[in-house]
Amino acid sequence: MNQRAVAIQKLMANLGYEFSNRDLLERALTHSSVSDGSFSGPGDNERLEFLGDRVLGLLVADMLVRDFPEADEGKLSARLHSLVDKSACARVGEALGIGPALRLSAGETKTGGRRKAGVIADAVEAILAAVYRDGGLDAARGVFERAWAKELASPPEPAIVNPKSALQEWAQGQGRPLPTYTIKERSGSDHAPTFKVEVVVQGYEPALATGHSRQEAEKAAAVALMKREGVI
């Protein structure tokens, strides 16, 4: 058994789920850099990632409404974002051991694809969709509750309704010009893009973050810079 096959076995053990259709798992682990046509239909995980993002959002929203009956919409939205964003998905993927199980092109492997947070986060969402397609919503919920257990146990971070406005106010309070945001990378397909955005506040190191939209990535970058500088 090769190293990747061993990694996949460990991954399934960590997921606590046995696939009836192993092709779904294989597709979920196949990065878009691979295009050898070995599967019928789309061979990479982008379509599954698109579905998995929605499955994850539904599972988190359902759990929050059930477990926090007194929380208002603002608090629910802030907690949902903290559990579904790319950073949380990447942490979940690293804990599951997704990196060694990924199917990447040689070029993507050489550039460290197995350690890239965005690649791992996308695969997490794709795997959740694969479980949903293979076993239904209850199966996906079981994987979610196991895989996100550490994230769910962590205390929620202080909610910031508008991170970009908060960063702007802080920058002005420091006597700095307004923050600037630059798209550094756009990957994925048109229906499931991933944006990497850099935010710069004059006099401070830039901060990078990713998101499914430019706005989401900009907000995440603002949060990342404020966390690093001890603002929040």
- Report the CATH number that the domain containing residue 209 is assigned in CATH: 3.30.160.20
Model confidence at 160, pLDDT cuts 50, 70, 90, reads: low
Q: What is the mean pLDDT of the chain?
A: 89
Spot the catalytic one: 44, 46, 49, 53: 53
- Report the CATH number that the domain containing residue 109 is assigned in CATH: 1.10.1520.10
The per-residue pLDDT for range 169-202, each reduced to its tens digit, is 899 988 999 999 999 999 877 777 889 999 999 9
Residues 149 and 167 reside in one and the same domain: no
Residues 24 and 49 reside in one and the same domain: yes
Residues 84 and 176 reside in one and the same domain: no
Residues 78 and 19 reside in one and the same domain: yes
Q: Is residue 158 part of a domain?
A: no
Residues 8 and 108 reside in one and the same domain: yes
Q: Is residue 70 part of a domain?
A: yes
Q: Is the pLDDT of residue 161 over 90?
A: no
pTM, rounded to two decimals = 0.72
Residues 120 and 199 reside in one and the same domain: no
Cα(113)–Cα(176) distance, integer angstroms = 36
The per-residue pLDDT for range 65-118, each reduced to its tens digit, is 999 999 888 778 778 888 998 888 999 999 999 999 999 988 888 888 898 888
23 flagged as catalytic: no
Q: Is residue 21 part of a domain?
A: yes
Instruction: Taking residues 20-41, report their average pLDDT.
Output: 79
Q: Is the pLDDT of residue 38 over 60?
A: no
Query: Which structural domain range is residue 43 located in?
Result: 3-153
Residues 78 and 181 reside in one and the same domain: no
Rg (CA), the chain: 18
Q: Is the pLDDT of residue 208 over 50?
A: yes
Residues 115 and 33 reside in one and the same domain: yes
Total domains in the fold of the chain: 2
26 flagged as catalytic: no
Spot the catalytic one: 26, 85, 122, 125: 125
Q: Is residue 92 part of a domain?
A: yes
